[in-house]
Amino acid sequence: MDSLIQNAISPLLRRAVLECVAQLFEDDHIPVSPAEFFRSPLVQALKEEIVRTGKKLWNREYVDGNGGNISARISPRWVICTPTMLSKGDLTVDDISLVDLESSQVLGERPRTSEILLHLEIYKAVPEAKAVIHCHPPYATAHAIAGVIPQGNLLPEQEVFVGPVPLTRYETPGTIDFARTVVPVVRKHNTILLQNHGVVSWADTITHAEWLIEVLETYCKTIVIAGQLSPKLKEIPPEKIADLLAVKRRLGLPDPRHPEAVEPNDSGQQYPYEPLSQAPSQEDIEQFVDSLCMQVLDFVKGTHASRR
């Protein structure tokens, strides 16, 4: 009976371990193919999150036509992303592509977004970035077209989650020159205005990156309306801004106003593990799986005995 249970759970545990290890180490050390990982439950859940987020962007009118793109980093070398020439309102999980950090498409029925270089430059510059969204929300994009950086220190939500917003120079979308316009500012800013183009944000999850877009767009819309009511908008007092920055530090969010230089892994974010120098061997993984199987068997036996 024990061997039957072990034979049943061992493949499931092995696959789960391989997927977790692939998140922590270079993919060519992992005994699982890109296709297997691309079809795994872990990546499937991220694809579904991308689809939900795409529909949110479309419903909120942050994208039009085939505009906007979404990606998620699923391992040290692989990124999943939305395709080119498809409305985010029509997106399905089968439309998602897999690319490497050199922008080569590895898997996917549809060609990957033409603006994937922007996403990849952010992932290379910001190790904490696990998701990137680019879109064209009207009020924020209006600021980008006008070349107007929105006045700061007016709403707590903006100061905590986004903060000061930089404006990058214009370059032709889809080019490496365009992608690199964000590099000088992306370490200290999670949301950026792209001159004559739109907005890009990065975060630890796809959903959180979309929240940042919502916060900035609402902020830009609100201050446009407030500016019609009064030509001089009253800012939050500096000592109260300091309180908000303290909250922001505790949340691990980047901000150029933090006193220390923002370097990789120095943004206040806490990690549940220390980076390791090399991936475990196949023998190490098999031993770990065997150990887990024994623990599961002991648990099943204990649960069964307690019910007698």
Domains of the chain in start order, with CATH, are 26-275 (3.40.225.10)
Using the predicted structure, report yes or no on whether residue 30 has a pLDDT greater than 50. yes
State which H helix or E strand residue 46 sits in.
helix 41-59
Q: Name the residue among 79, 71, 75 with its Cα closest to residue 29.
A: 75
pLDDT at residue 151 in the model:
98
Average pLDDT over residues 10-17: 61
**pTM of the predicted protein model:** 0.79
Q: Does 267 or 109 have the greater pLDDT score? A: 109
| Phi, psi for residue 303 in degrees, rounded to 5 | -65, -40
Query: Does residue 149 surpass a pLDDT of 90?
Result: yes
3-state helix, strand, coil in the chain (%, to 5): 50, 10, 40
Please give the pLDDT value at position 32: 72
Contact 19, 40 (CB under 8 A): yes
The dihedral formed by the CA atoms of 210, 213, 267 and 260, expressed in degrees to the nearest 10:
180
Query: Could you tell me which residue, 297 or 223, shows the higher pLDDT?
Result: 223
What's the pLDDT at 292? 61
Q: Is 174 left (phi over 0), alpha (psi -120 to 50) or beta?
A: left
Per-residue confidence band for 269, with pLDDT thresholds at 50, 70 and 90:
very low
Residue 227 near residue 148, CB atoms below 8 Å? no
For 178-207, the pLDDT digits (tens) are: 999 999 999 999 999 999 999 999 999 999
214-236 residue pLDDT tens: 999 999 999 999 999 999 999 99
Do 157 and 179 meet the contact criterion of CB atoms below 8 Å apart? no
pLDDT above 90 covers what percent of the chain?
73
